Amino acid sequence: MKSLLSSSEIAKYKETLSGLAMSQIKTNHLDCPAGTDTKQRLYLKQTHEGILAYCHHCGKGGFLRTSREPSRLETLLAEKVGEASKVKGNPFVGPTTQFKEWPTEPKLWWLSHELNEEDANTYGVTWHPDSHRLLLPSCILVQGRGFYGRLPKYLTYHKPLEERGPYISVSLFDGGSTCVFVVEDLVSAYKIHKCGGNVLSLTGTKFTDAHLNMCAIFERVVLWTDDDPAGIVGSAAMYKALSGLCEVITFRSTLEPKETELETLKTIVERYNA
Ligand SMILES: [Zn+2]
């Protein structure tokens, strides 16, 4: 992960940020690998969950979690303002850009999940300047995550049948393991796949017969839904539908897979893959 700033590196600026009323500053990047920075090219932003950092000189970015437990309620309230919304016509026509040309906010958001440029290319994630959305693709749909105040936060476009991949749902299967993780959102799916896991993203909590058929080919299914009422109810329904067909494990965490540190996630994936 060459493009990441480590937590300890970002921690050096913690003091600077906490003393200010502004949640966003620019400062010189100390020991910038691209050469001495005198033009304040390190961009720092204090968010509810931690500090986002991105250097416009060396191109490194990263995230330091300062709150161990982000307030679930606050997150939910923020996200309720027009949650995922489905659209008929494709709102994502026109040019898209690759990681290097993404604006700062989506770039930081992506990096904050410990995903990098290579991952963006692997999963086909691009920036759509016209809609100010980061396009998160799966084989059947494209989800546009809005930035710079664009609402709803997620706009989902289902591809017409002829443009769909071979799968009914979002699935990243590597083979090798007989275990599959079932998660809600796409970024969580990308992250689990990056850690070596087979994964199925519901892009929601609705579990259909198609999902059931896909899970049934695995010996072990790990259900990792969000720790909220919808996630808990969804997970219980899936458990019921799958038990008897394969080993079903309900994984409980206050953090979503995408919020879980990569190292921890790797350990979890390895444990269930074994
Ligand atoms: Zn730098």
Going along the chain from its start, the domains and CATH numbers come out as 7-65 (no CATH), 81-163 (no CATH), 170-273 (3.40.50.140)
**What mean pLDDT is predicted for residues 131-140?**
90
The pLDDT value recorded for residue 107 is 93
pLDDT higher at 248 or 59: 248
Q: What distance in angstroms lies between residue 245's CA and the mean position of ligand 1's atoms?
A: 52
How far away, in angstroms, is 26 Cα from ligand 1 center? 12
- Helices 186-194 and 262-273 pack at an angle, to 10 degrees, of 70
Q: What digits encode the pLDDT tens for the residues 205-218?
A: 677 777 777 787 78
**Distances 11 to 18, 70, 139 between C-alpha atoms, Å:** 11, 18, 39
Q: Phi and psi (nearest 5°) for 241?
A: -65, -30
CA distances from 211 to 60, 183, 206, 249 (A): 38, 12, 9, 16
Answer whether residue 178 shows pLDDT above 90: no
Asked if residues 55 and 5 have their Cβ atoms less than 8 Å apart, the reply is yes
DSSP letters along 89-138, please? Answer: S-TT-S--B-GGGS-HHHHHHHHHTT--HHHHHHHT-EEETTTTEEEEE-
> 5 CA to middle of ligand 1, Å?
9
CA 12 / ligand 1 centre spacing (Å)? 14
pTM, entire model? 0.70
The answer to whether residue 88 scores a pLDDT higher than 50 is yes
Tell me how far the alpha carbon of residue 113 lies from the centroid of ligand 1, in angstroms. Answer: 20
**pLDDT band at residue 110 under the 50/70/90 scheme:** very high
CA of 119 relative to ligand 1 center, distance in Å: 21
Gap from CA of 110 to ligand 1 centroid (Å): 18
The answer on pLDDT for 72 being more than 60 is no
Q: What is the band of 80 on the pLDDT scale with cuts at 50, 70, 90?
A: very low
Ligand 1 center to 35 CA (angstroms): 8
- The pLDDT-based confidence of 125 (bands split at 50, 70, 90) is very high
Q: What is the pLDDT of residue 36?
A: 94
**Percent over 70 (pLDDT), the chain:** 83
Mean residue pLDDT across the chain: 82
For the ranges 122-136, 197-211, 224-238, the one whose mean pLDDT is highest = 122-136
**pLDDT class for 272, splitting at 50, 70, 90?**
very high
Expressed in angstroms and rounded, the spacing between residue 175 Cα and the centre of ligand 1 is 39
- Given this model, what pLDDT does residue 99 score? 96
Rounded distance from Cα 3 to ligand 1 centre (Å): 10
Q: Of 84 and 55, which is predicted with more confidence?
A: 55
Pairwise pLDDT comparison (67 vs 5), residue with the higher score: 5
Confidence of residue 69 (pLDDT cuts 50, 70, 90): very low
Give the pLDDT confidence score for residue 49 in this predicted structure. Answer: 65
